């Protein structure tokens, strides 16, 4: 019995050595072969005859091998020429300095040739073509639309095609179709078996399109079923916290704000309050650009929890940020009698124990902290609301862990990494989403300039001038994605250069990801207090401190960053009363780079930048090295397949609403996304 879990090494002709080569492409089982989707296709059903090949264009044609000859037109140059023919004419295939290719060919062999065609003096020539040798009657590799796979040096197209064909013919899976006839009918989807056949060996273009639609739908549908099921679990929980309507405490906190809330803030707050008053646990994400005023909303929500007799908790990704939140909350809430405590890693053992005792006794109303908050020994008396900052640093599992501490408290997640709606559905599909797009009035946009390396001297002198005027600044080091270590080396070198020249007389400091947490905190703190005037840093400052006095940022190697990331970095400045400046330095002044960086200069809206970034670089790059909750998709493209995503979500809603329907897709869901969701769907 062969099924999708059968190891490929049992396929005839594979064996351990070849299996290892396939493993490098992520192929271990027959199922992996079936899901090794082509990266493109070549239409070899209507190959052009040699006579009709277009000059100067990449073409594919079929021909028979004639004579092979080597020549040495001059020293150090070998020219290998292979003459091939079809019924309409001849073509020369040419290789420079690759004499060994001669051995590949024998007169009479049939080839499929792909390459750029040049017509010269009535001759057709193709240099360094891609070649595939075929058997005359071989219907897998020619005479049809042929799949071209992600391959490697040792794993060629022909072999992959043969293996996939084998998997398609031998993978017997009665019941592999998990979409109900109703769903397939409503959304006009091809059957699973037909879709797998046609995604690899399409009988015609329309069948390929139908196959892709089915498989994209299926992938997004399963993911949405998982996300919506998670959401339904927490919504069903009968143990949720039902907060009371606003009373005098919330009203006092709101009345004491030194400003009026923006329309978007009011809207998001109303959504949060409605969720909190509901008995079902809240699972809400508030997306808003840096400085859009999310912390204020958190404060009001926490006051509401306290007013209803519960405790609130707020988690931040770093110690300093936790302290800052604590400070902000103290200003907004303490005057109304709300008791606030910090619980961070830097507390002495004794203070920590004291805070824990008071927390357990219900003598602390709101606690602010880092990951320390989700450690085993933290016990709440009656936790009603958890606010987590910067969700992408925590992830689904950690959220669940904290939730387990109370009787499913309400959860409010804040993120300053705006992502487009469709992507939010894929990443945060288990959350309800509120969006704050509008910034508080009177914000001065950060003046942003994209400049070439020849401006470097002026840029650094400008920073020196700002410091002389009492301001502070950041220098962001170029991104080195390949390795942490190299990045630190580059950052250190830049720091030493700057500290020895432009910043000779200025206190400056270096922070990077390889510093010990305590040292990092120390450097950040010195900058925060104003002792350090210029902070040279890698992207670790992305989620960082609020230093309103910092008015200038220079980003070295700006072309290496994504727009969304640059925007995130830029969010470190423009937080105070003084005009701020962001200077994007780049030695690469290609048209594409210039155009991309020019967008930064024009656009201040993080949502717009995120969308542009996705469009330009695709989701993989968009999330980059960042730990984001994005699942690994095999065929769907969350940027391009938006339409299908919305259909798939709708279908998933109908499925999850009915337990028997959901039970029917559950095995497929755990097979496909078990790892992503963790325990809930494993096995």
Q: Which residues would be at the binding site for Mg ion (CB under 5 A)? A: 241, 276, 278, 282, 410
Q: Is 128 left (phi over 0), alpha (psi -120 to 50) or beta?
A: left
Report what 484 binds from Mg ion, ligand ADP, none; CB cut-off 5-8 Å by kind.
Answer: none
Output 285 or 636, the one with its CB closest to Mg ion: 285
Report what 410 binds from Mg ion, ligand ADP, none; CB cut-off 5-8 Å by kind.
Answer: Mg ion
Measuring CA to CA, which residue among 639, 671, 659, 656 is closest to residue 227?
656
Report the distance separating Cα 245 and Cα 261, nearest Å.
19
Report the distance separating Cα 577 and Cα 446, nearest Å.
11
**CB of 228 vs ligand ADP, minimal distance in Å:** 28
Report the distance separating Cα 416 and Cα 426, nearest Å.
17
**CB of 543 vs ligand ADP, minimal distance in Å:** 10
Residue 336 tokens read as 């109304």
Output 49 or 309, the one with its CB closest to Mg ion: 309
Output 261 or 305, the one with its CB closest to ligand ADP: 261
Where along the sequence are the contacts to ligand ADP (CB under 6 A)? 259, 261-262, 265, 288, 290-296, 416, 440
**CB of 256 vs ligand ADP, minimal distance in Å:** 12
Report the distance separating Cα 36 and Cα 163, nearest Å.
11
Report what 6 binds from ligand ADP, Mg ion, none; CB cut-off 5-8 Å by kind.
Answer: none
**CB of 581 vs ligand ADP, minimal distance in Å:** 19
Determine the residue with CB nearest ligand ADP: 293
Output 143 or 291, the one with its CB closest to ligand ADP: 291
**CB of 409 vs Mg ion, minimal distance in Å:** 8
Output 219 or 365, the one with its CB closest to Mg ion: 365
Determine the residue with CB nearest Mg ion: 410
Report the distance separating Cα 371 and Cα 442, nearest Å.
35
Output 369 or 631, the one with its CB closest to ligand ADP: 369
Phi (first) and psi of residue 547, to 5 degrees = -120, 90
Report what 134 binds from ligand ADP, Mg ion, none; CB cut-off 5-8 Å by kind.
Answer: none
Report the distance separating Cα 495 and Cα 475, nearest Å.
9
Report what 403 binds from Mg ion, ligand ADP, none; CB cut-off 5-8 Å by kind.
Answer: none
Report what 306 binds from ligand ADP, Mg ion, none; CB cut-off 5-8 Å by kind.
Answer: none
Q: Exposed, middle or buried: residue 326 (CB in 10 Å: 0-12, 13-18, 19+)? A: buried
Report what 259 binds from ligand ADP, Mg ion, none; CB cut-off 5-8 Å by kind.
Answer: ligand ADP
Report what 100 binds from Mg ion, ligand ADP, none; CB cut-off 5-8 Å by kind.
Answer: none
Output 292 or 417, the one with its CB closest to ligand ADP: 292
Output 114 or 292, the one with its CB closest to ligand ADP: 292
Name every residue whose Cβ is closer than 8 Å to that of residue 354 and which is 6 or more positions away in sequence.
Answer: none
Q: Exposed, middle or buried: residue 89 (CB in 10 Å: 0-12, 13-18, 19+)? A: middle
Locate tokens 């907060």: which residue? 243
Degrees to nearest 5, angle at CA 98 with 94 and 101? 75
Output 210 or 544, the one with its CB closest to ligand ADP: 544
**Can you list the pairs that 599-602 forms with residues at least 24 positions away whose Cβ atoms lie under 8 Å?**
599/563, 600/448, 600/450, 600/563, 600/566, 600/567, 600/570, 601/448, 601/449, 601/450
Report what 10 binds from Mg ion, ligand ADP, none; CB cut-off 5-8 Å by kind.
Answer: none
Report the distance separating Cα 624 and Cα 608, nearest Å.
18
Report the distance separating Cα 522 and Cα 501, nearest Å.
24
Report the distance separating Cα 381 and Cα 96, nearest Å.
78
**CB of 254 vs Mg ion, minimal distance in Å:** 20
Name every residue whose Cβ is closer than 8 Å to that of residue 270 and which is 6 or more positions away in sequence.
Answer: none
Element (H, E) at 403: helix 395-403
**CB of 332 vs ligand ADP, minimal distance in Å:** 9
**CB of 294 vs ligand ADP, minimal distance in Å:** 3
**CB of 390 vs ligand ADP, minimal distance in Å:** 10
């Amino acid at each position: 019995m062969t099924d999708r879990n059968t190891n490929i090494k049992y396929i005839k002709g594979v064996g351990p050595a070849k299996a290892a080569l396939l493993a490098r492409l992520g192929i271990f089982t027959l199922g992996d072969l079936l899901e090794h989707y082509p990266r493109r296709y070549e239409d070899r059903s209507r190959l052009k005859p040699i006579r009709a090949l277009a000059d100067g264009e990449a073409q594919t044609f079929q021909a028979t091998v004639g004579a092979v000859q080597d020549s040495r037109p001059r020293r150090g140059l070998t020219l290998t020429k292979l003459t091939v023919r079809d019924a309409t004419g001849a073509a020369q295939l040419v290789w420079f300095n690759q004499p060994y290719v001669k051995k590949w060919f024998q007169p009479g062999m049939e080839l499929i040739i792909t390459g750029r065609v040049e017509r010269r003096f009535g001759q057709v020539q193709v240099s360094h073509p891609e070649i595939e040798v075929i058997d005359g009657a071989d219907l897998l590799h020619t005479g049809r639309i042929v799949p071209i796979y992600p391959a490697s040096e040792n794993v060629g197209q022909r072999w992959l095609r043969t293996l996939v064909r084998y998997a398609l013919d031998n993978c017997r899976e009665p019941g592999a179709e998990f979409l109900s006839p109703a769903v397939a009918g409503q959304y006009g989807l091809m059957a699973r078996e037909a879709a797998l056949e046609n995604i690899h060996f399409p009988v015609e273009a329309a069948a390929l399109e139908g196959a892709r639609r089915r498989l994209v739908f299926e992938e997004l549908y399963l993911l949405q079923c998982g996300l919506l099921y998670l959401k339904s679990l927490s919504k069903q929980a009968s143990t949720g916290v039902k907060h009371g309507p606003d009373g005098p405490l919330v009203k006092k906190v709101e009345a004491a704000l030194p400003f009026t809330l923006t329309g978007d803030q009011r809207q998001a707050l109303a959504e949060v309050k409605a969720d909190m008053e509901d008995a079902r646990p809240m699972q809400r994400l508030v997306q808003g650009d840096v400085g859009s005023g999310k912390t204020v909303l958190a404060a009001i929500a926490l006051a509401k929890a306290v007013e209803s007799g519960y405790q609130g908790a707020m988690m931040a990704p770093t110690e300093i940020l936790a302290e800052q939140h604590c400070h902000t909350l103290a200003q907004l809430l303490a005057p109304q009698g709300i008791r606030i405590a910090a619980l961070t890693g830097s507390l002495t053992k004794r203070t920590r124990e004291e805070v824990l005792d008071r927390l357990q006794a219900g003598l602390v109303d709101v606690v602010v902290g880092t990951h320390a908050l989700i450690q085993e020994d933290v016990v709440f008396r009656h936790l009603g609301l958890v606010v987590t900052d910067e969700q992408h640093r925590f992830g689904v599992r950690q959220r669940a862990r904290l939730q387990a501490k109370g009787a499913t408290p309400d959860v409010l997640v804040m993120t300053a990494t705006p992502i487009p709606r469709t992507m939010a559905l894929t990443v945060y599909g288990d959350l309800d989403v509120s969006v704050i797009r509008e910034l508080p009035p009177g914000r001065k946009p950060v003046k942003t300039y994209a400049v070439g390396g020849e401006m470097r001297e002026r840029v650094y002198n400008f920073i020196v001038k700002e410091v002389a005027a009492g301001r502070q600044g950041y220098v962001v080091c170029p991104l080195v994605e390949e390795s942490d270590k190299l990045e630190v080396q580059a950052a250190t070198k830049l720091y030493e250069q700057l500290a020895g020249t432009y910043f000779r007389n200025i206190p400056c400091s270096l922070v990077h990801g390889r510093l010990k947490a305590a040292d990092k905190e120390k450097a950040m703190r010195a900058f925060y207090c104003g002792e350090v005037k210029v902070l040279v840093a890698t992207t670790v400052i992305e989620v960082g401190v609020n230093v309103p006095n910092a008015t200038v940022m220079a980003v070295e190697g700006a072309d290496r960053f994504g727009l969304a990331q640059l925007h995130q970095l830029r969010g470190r400045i423009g937080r105070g009363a003084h005009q701020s400046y962001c200077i994007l330095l780049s030695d690469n002044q290609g048209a594409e780079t210039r155009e991309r960086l020019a967008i930064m200069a024009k656009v201040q809206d993080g949502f717009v930048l995120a969308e542009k970034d996705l469009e330009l670089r695709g989701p993989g790059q968009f999330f980059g090295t960042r730990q984001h909750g994005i699942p690994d998709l095999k065929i769907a493209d969350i940027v391009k397949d938006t339409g299908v995503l919305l259909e798939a979500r709708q279908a998933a809603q109908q499925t999850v609403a009915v337990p028997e329907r959901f039970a029917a897709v559950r095995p497929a869901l755990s097979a496909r996304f078990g790892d992503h969701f963790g325990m809930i769907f494993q096995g």
